[in-house]
Structure 1
Amino acid sequence: MAFLDDAVLDSGLSALTGISSPVLHICSAEPTSRSEALSLSLGNKTGITIGSPGDRTGGGRKVTISAITDGEVTATDEATSWAIIDDSKLWAANDLSAPQNVTDGNTFTLPAFDIGIPDPA
């Protein structure tokens, strides 16, 4: 069986905790680049909080993105994905736990969620 110490997994997740100006975007599809995240964006929240690495349910390590209660909606459509970017790159993206219809000018909310790395199989 393969083994990686938690410190190895934490090093990978520390890249996320070290982002100086993270911005979370809700998107109409899952982006694969920063420019695509911006073009698919339906809204955003600056200054998101990314927690320290910790144990992941089922093994491995994770960071938690804090809940968002006041994200700014900038377009009307169905948000299906989220993306975390900074000034230079797309750091992470995935599907929302549940798609949500959003309307330009409103706010959006998201519950806290985890980004994790599983233990090796």
Structure 2
Amino acid sequence: MSYINPRVLDEGLTVLDTEATRLDICDTEPSDYTEATDTYSLGNKTSLSIGSPADRSPSGRQVTVAQITDGTIDADGTAAFYAISDTANSRLLAVGDLSSSQAVTTGNQFNLAAFNIGMPGPA
């Protein structure tokens, strides 16, 4: 039987809780910091609230990114991905699909429901 102590998983997820400072919504899936915060970004939110690691069902650990109600839109397009970055170190930390694509228009705000980012336990 495989086993990974929750602390091992938590240390990886804690980076999101302690170092993430910006969430961008993007029209194309970014693969690096510049793509996430400039090339593909349609808008962003700083001052993120990401919780501490907790149990994930059916196994593993996760953090929850709190709901966003006041993200700023900087470009027109269709947002399909989120990207979470550490701006102090110019690091892309996490990328994922939005639960559904959304058309956005410059000058408006975007909202995202709370969502989880997790790591599964061993198989």
Q: How does 1:5-44 map to 2 (within 5 A)?
A: 5-19=5-19, 22-37=21-36, 38-44=38-44
| Divergent runs of 4+, >4 A | none
Please, which runs of 5 or more residues in structure 2 have no aligned partner? none
Sequence identity (%): 49
TM-score of the aligned structures, taking structure 1 as reference length: 0.96
Q: Give RMSD over aligned pairs.
A: 0.9
* CA–CA separation in structure 2 for the residues paired with 1:33 and 1:101: 23
| 2:73 aligned residue | 73
| 1:110 aligned residue | 112
Give a deviation string over 1:70-113, Cα, whole Å, max 9, x none: 00001000000000112211010011010000000000000000
Q: In structure 2, give the amino acid aligned to 1:32.
A: S
* CA–CA separation in structure 2 for the residues paired with 1:51 and 1:71: 19
Residue 30 of structure 1 deviates from its aligned partner by: 1.1
| 1:45 aligned residue | 45
Residue 59 of structure 1 deviates from its aligned partner by: 0.7
TM-score of the aligned structures, taking structure 2 as reference length: 0.94
| 1:55 aligned residue | 55
